[in-house]
Amino acid sequence: MTVLDIKDLHVSVKTDDETSGEKEILRGVTLTIRSGETHAIMGPNGSGKSTLAYSIAGHPKYKITSGSVTLDGQDVLTMTVDQRARAGLFLAMQYPVEVPGVSVANFLRTAKTAIDGEAPKLRTWVKDVNTALDQLNLDPSFAQRSVNEGFSGGEKKRHEIAQLELLNPRVAVLDETDSGLDIDALKIVAEGVNRFRRQEDKGVLLITHYTRILRYIEPDFVHVFVAGRIADEGGPELAEQLEAEGYDKYVKAAAAAAVG
């Protein structure tokens, strides 16, 4: 069984203001994701959701001040970014970056080679890529375009899910994958995530503002993030409660606690 274990994680980020130095974003996050589980993290802007994702992935902007992150007992925080990918971690970013001059086909094959330690056989790989693109309603010619250059929002997110399916990690961290998607693209992306999580030994951490995507990807657990902490936890019913009531009571409670 795959287990991503986050314990009492504190994370700071450097600020633009030289006098203040660093700002603490995560203030003691504890979360365990096991294979077969889908966890949804919800919360208002600035609550630390994306900080958690980037910290797990190893973004240099974020400084781990205390706590631990392990994958099957291995210390993730001592790994380089590429080592984390080879260990089985995957991050779908909220704002995928453009890579001009590098085709989708070359990017995917290079990534697959780096993770597996050997290049995939070309004949089967081309078939796998075309199958993944077709399932995401992307034309085979998409593979010859430069990565994310001139892509629509939906194309960028569908490309991320194509990466997920082809690289086949153990734990997928999806940072606002539903951002900017129309209903058709949302359904296609959700179907891709569901194909991934139906496999054995896979875990998913899904970060979102809204319950919309959770109608298509039903989580096992929902966690409410406010002010860098988990303010509440529950099952899918908690997402529906948040849709009806919003985050206001959690934000007020966090503000009152900070004053006190």
Partners of 223 in the beta sheet?
A: 41, 233
Q: pLDDT tens-digit profile of 32-52?
A: 999 999 999 999 988 999 999
**Domains of the chain, CATH where assigned:** 3-259 (3.40.50.300)
Note whether 211 and 239 are within 8 A (CB). Answer: yes
Note whether 92 and 56 are within 8 A (CB). Answer: no
Query: At residue 257, does pLDDT exceed 90?
Result: no
pLDDT cut 70: percent of the chain above it: 98
Interior CA angle at 170 toward 27 and 149, to 5°?
Answer: 85
pLDDT at site 21 = 76
What average pLDDT does the structure give for the chain?
93
Note whether 103 and 143 are within 8 A (CB). Answer: yes
